[in-house]
Structure 1
Amino acid sequence: MTFSLYCVYRLEELVNQWIWRQDFWLPPGVTWKDIADGASDGSRYPVPRDLLICLPLALGFIALRFVFERVVALPLSRWLGVRDRVWVHVTPVPKLEAFYLQKKKQPSQNDLVVLEKHCGLTQRQIQTWLRQRRNQDRPSNTRKFCEASWRFVFYLIAFSAGLISLINTSWFWDHRECWHGYPRQAVAEAQYWYYIMELSFYLSLLLCVSVDIKRKDFKEQIIHHIATIFLIAFSYCANYVRVGTLVMLVHDSSDFLLESAKMFNYAGWRKTCDALFVIFAAVFLLTRLVVFPCRVIYTAVVDSLDVFLPYSGYYFLNGLLLVLQALHIFWAWLILRMVHKFVFLGKVERDERSDEESEVDEDEVGEEECSREQKKGAFNSKLASLANNCVLNNLTNQRRKMNSRMPKAR
């Protein structure tokens, strides 16, 4: 028993020495005891071990999502009229199936030559088979709707709860108050659960990234989730909770609008989707390109220097904020492209931010549409030639009749 206690004690010492090092997490001259003294009246103060509850909560979010998508989202999609496109099922060809599972992108000319020899099919037939096989793996609109509706519900609840818990705080209106009294700042119970739920949710998104629909901005989403998780965890441990709550509220303010626009897009409600997209674009550009850099990043970079000198954690925190801002600029560029299409085409054709699976899929759709147009054109040309033949036959018959009547008249 004594040996076990000794091992636990040594492990705790090693964790405190290498992981919870005060010179990294806290500014110079600040200790964990100073943070605890800020809650001397019995209120809550940040403790790193509080974050351990996020892993079971993330697994709980995954289970809750599974139930929500089947019990709530699926009936809702049917009620709103979400329809799935029916794709042609290909005839099984083992060698082509093996090639497709190994390499899903467009085959090269050498690949087509090799497959042509092994399968006994023409290159055109091989390309058609691979395109139809890829279409079978396309995510349905119902699946996209269920995924978007789950995120919409969470972001809406998180934004509402965060706004209610922060609207009466001093730092919500004056960002300089984020550092007033630091590090002796108590954490309200509502702000604590706001932190824990946000961290658990983003952790669940990261755990489900391999089974979720792969978006065009897949890599950017991974970077965003990782940066957000590290930012929330670090800001909580270092008691930058006031800045952290502002970061989360700014992000949640536009995310639920995006997910709602996706839902109505999958349901075919074009006017509602376009209206929500316009509102989302305005809120996103205002919060991510104006409020976030001018208030949140500014107070973390500039105002914090009035309280402590730069240290390793200072650069780590602001580095993560700048990573998020770089992603905001990238997404803002995509959104402005959509705004341009909305203004000049009159509608939002697709979600350039994260709704298409890949560029290759778009090209395949284009090829399929071109083949349809070619078939349609060929059909129309046949109809035209048939009509011309009918006209010529009628003229020929009329001329013969006239020639046969002329001798009689004479």
Structure 2
Amino acid sequence: MDLLPDIWRQDYWLPPGVTWRDMEQLADADRPQPLDLLIALPLALGFVALRYVFERFFAPPMGRYLGVKNRSQKTTAPSPQLESFYTQQTRKPTHSEIAGLISLCGKTQRQIEVWFRLRRNQDRPCQSKKFGEAAWRFFFYLLAFMAGLTCLIDRPWFWHLRECWRGYPIQAMERAHYWYYMLELGFYGSLLLRISVDIKRKDFKEQVIHHLATIFLLIFSYCANYIRIGTLVMLLHDSSDILLESAKMFNYGTGWKKTCDALFVVFAVVFLVTRLVIFPSKIIHTTLALSMEVFEPFVGYYFFNILLMVLQALHIFWAGLILRMVYKFLKGKLEKDERSDEESEIEEEEEDKGGEENADHGDYCWERSKDTLNSKLSMLTNTCVLNSFSNQRASVSDRMRKAQ
């Protein structure tokens, strides 16, 4: 073991007083070994290929069944100067940049603003692509959660967290838990491989941090034989991810609003309970406090808990987005995911109406004001006529009474 690089020093990975030789008391088939992680790379590539097949052949018929329809988008008028600026400079030009483009391409400011908005809309992912991505994640999280629950529900550490550390680190690893680890590691590896082509949402940076933290957690916890607590962390996260992806699937379809709303409410409750209550009070408390009943702190202990804290910070960030959505949902104003990549539909419609054809915004406002004024004048005129007619009838009635 002395020939190992410094990264594999036993005081990094194992508690004080425990050596790699102590770990050799277990049979090779019963203990985690770093070389086992190499299988995660072909698994990640396999997930990428399987996802392509799923999104190509299975997701489209599912989407048609749920009524997923791609929105019709207006295409921009050909403009080599604007297209070159869009692809090479920026997708959202400033006012000074627009002023320079006016003289370059001979268009008005309004036309340039509308051109860039329509061009950005063309690059946005269609509903069917969003549905395919959500459906793929839903089926993986569902199968992973069912497999994890099956191999953990009858284990003592699933019910009593102190069992996670009984006899640590010399704990035998079951083959079911080995494959559970490798499949999760391969899946998150495939998400990183596809991150450049997947839909980018507002929390793109947070998603990258989450994937990296998860991968480092899986790698370290496997090598340091944190298998028991690691399986609980994976199972806890998969439970709410299933509901999130299923709510997205129904959201992209038509005629499933009530189903989507119900799934969203259940997801919000499960997420807040599992990520903000159970995760810090059970999982983090177990790794920080209960583990100290068995061994003393070491480098890996601090590294593992720091990564758990990173995940908890991300949970708090996403909980804020979810609570905003819940508030809008209760107010009846929830129209889309807070993480959506789309811009406001109302704003988009106003821009389109503003005119590809040089529509004058001032004239439009004047026409609306004029229509409103005419309507009020008409109401006032009708009121005056009715009052005059009523007064005339009353005068005639008085004269007839006097004549009689």
Q: TM bucket by the smaller chain? A: 0.7 to 0.9
131, 150, 163: which is aligned to 1:164?
A: 150
8 Å CA contact retained: 2:171, 2:225: yes
CA deviations 1:284-322 (Å, max 9, x no partner) are: 011001111111101101111112211111110000000
Please list, as runs of the form range in 1=range in 2, the aligned pairs for 1:14-33 lying within 5 A after superposition: 16-33=4-21
Q: State the Cα deviation string for residues 176-234 of structure 1 (Å, max 9, x = none).
A: 11000111111111111000000000011011100000011000000000000000100
Instruction: Tell me the residue number matched to 1:318.
Output: 305
Conservation of the 8 A alpha-carbon contact between 1:25 and 1:313? yes
Q: Where do 1:158-307 residues align within 5 Å?
A: 158-268=144-254, 269-307=256-294
Distance 1:348 1:129 in 2: 29
- Counting aligned pairs with the same residue, the percent is 59
1:362 aligns with 2:349: no
The one-letter code sitting in structure 1 at the alignment partner of 2:323 is: L
Structure 1 residue 33: Cα displacement:
2.6
The one-letter code of the counterpart of 1:29 is G
Q: Quote the residue 2:94 is aligned against.
A: 108
Are positions 1:117 and 2:100 aligned together?
no
1:54 equivalent in structure 2: 40
Matches of 2:378 and 2:278, distance apart in 1: 71
Structure 1 residue 18: Cα displacement: 2.4
The residue type equivalent to 1:223 in the other structure is I
Q: Tell me how far 1:381 sits from its aligned partner.
A: 6.4
Contact kept? 1:55, 1:200, Cα under 8 Å:
yes
Kept in 1, the 8 Å contact 2:144–2:238? The answer is yes
Q: Which has the higher contact order (CA 8 A, sep 6+)?
A: 2
Distance 1:20 1:81, change over 3 A: same
Letter in 1 for 2:182: I
How far off its partner does 1:32 sit? 2.2
CA contact (8 A) 1:104 1:134 kept: no
Alignment equivalent of 1:130, drawn from 101, 113, 116? 116
Deviation at 1:35, TM superposition (A): 2.3
Cα offset, 1:20, TM superposition? 1.8
Contact 1:144–1:213, Cα closer than 8 Å, also in 2: yes
Tell me which residue corresponds to 1:139: 125
Residue 344 (structure 1) shift? 1.6
* Residues 255-295 of structure 1: per-residue CA shift (max 9 Å, x gap): 01000000000003110000000110111011001111111
Give the superposition deviation at 1:13.
6.9
CA distance in 1, matches of 2:328, 2:89: 33
Give 1:104 deviation, angstroms.
Answer: 3.9
Q: Residues 190 and 319 of structure 1: is their aligned pair in 2 closer, same or farther, counting only changes over 3 Å?
A: same
Distance 1:379 1:297 in 2: 64
Aligned residues of 2:248 and 2:260 also touching (Cα < 8 A): yes
Deviates more, 1:321-330 or 1:366-375: 366-375
Amino acid at match of 2:205: K
Q: Matches of 2:225 and 2:134 in 1, distance apart? A: 33
| Separation in structure 2 between the aligned mates of residue 260 and residue 221 of structure 1, nearest angstrom | 19
Correspondences of 1:341-352 after superposition (within 5 Å): 341-345=328-332, 348-352=334-338
Say which SS state the counterpart of residue 93 (structure 2) adopts.
coil
| Equivalent position amino acid for 1:178 in 2 | C
Cα offset, 1:380, TM superposition: 6.2
Kindly state the Cα deviation for residue 34 of structure 1 after the two structures are TM-superposed: 2.0
Number of aligned pairs?
A: 370
Of residues 382-391 and 83-92 in structure 1, the stretch that sits farther from structure 2 once superposed is 382-391
Check 1:372–1:102 CA distance in 2 against 1; reply closer, same or farther (3 A cut).
Answer: closer
- State the alpha-carbon separation in 2 of the partners of residues 60 and 19 from structure 1: 29
Kindly provide the amino acid, as one letter, of the partner of residue 71 in structure 1.
Answer: F
In 1, Cα distance between the equivalents of 2:61 and 2:286? 45
Secondary structure class of the residue paired with 1:19? helix
CA RMSD of aligned residues (A): 2.4
Structure 1 position 382, deviation (Å): 7.7
Measured after TM superposition, the shift of residue 379 of structure 1 is 7.3
Task: Give, in whole Å, the separation in 1 of the partners of 2:375 and 2:281.
Answer: 69
Q: AA paired with 1:47?
A: Q
Show the counterpart of 1:406: none
- Contact 1:247–1:296 (Cα < 8 Å) also in 2: yes
- In 2, the alpha carbon distance for the partners of 1:36 and 1:280 equals 44
Give the conservation status (yes or no) of the 8 Å contact 1:234–1:317: yes
TM-score, structure 1 length as denominator? Answer: 0.85
CA separation of 1:135 and 1:379: change in aligned 2, threshold 3 A: farther
3-state SS in 2 of match to 1:215: coil
Determine the C-alpha separation between the residues in 2 that align with 1:20 and 1:368. Answer: 56
CA distance in 2, matches of 1:68, 1:274: 26
Q: Which amino acid aligns with 1:185?
A: Q
Q: Distance in 2 between matches of 1:222 and 1:311?
A: 28
Query: Equivalent of 1:333, from 316, 320, 332?
Result: 320
Structure 1 pair 144/378, CA: closer, same or farther in 2 (3 Å)? Answer: farther
In 1, Cα distance between the equivalents of 2:187 and 2:18?
31
Contact 2:91 2:116 in 1 (8 A): no
- 8 A Cα contact 1:35 1:239, kept in partner: no
Query: Residue 43 of structure 1: CA displacement?
Result: 5.0
TM-score by length of 2: 0.86
Residue type at the aligned position of 2:343: E
- What secondary structure does 1:211 align onto? coil
CA displacement, residues 135-169 of structure 1 (integer Å, 9 cap, x when unaligned): 11111010000000000000000001001110000
Inter-partner Cα distance in structure 2 for 1:149 and 1:378: 49
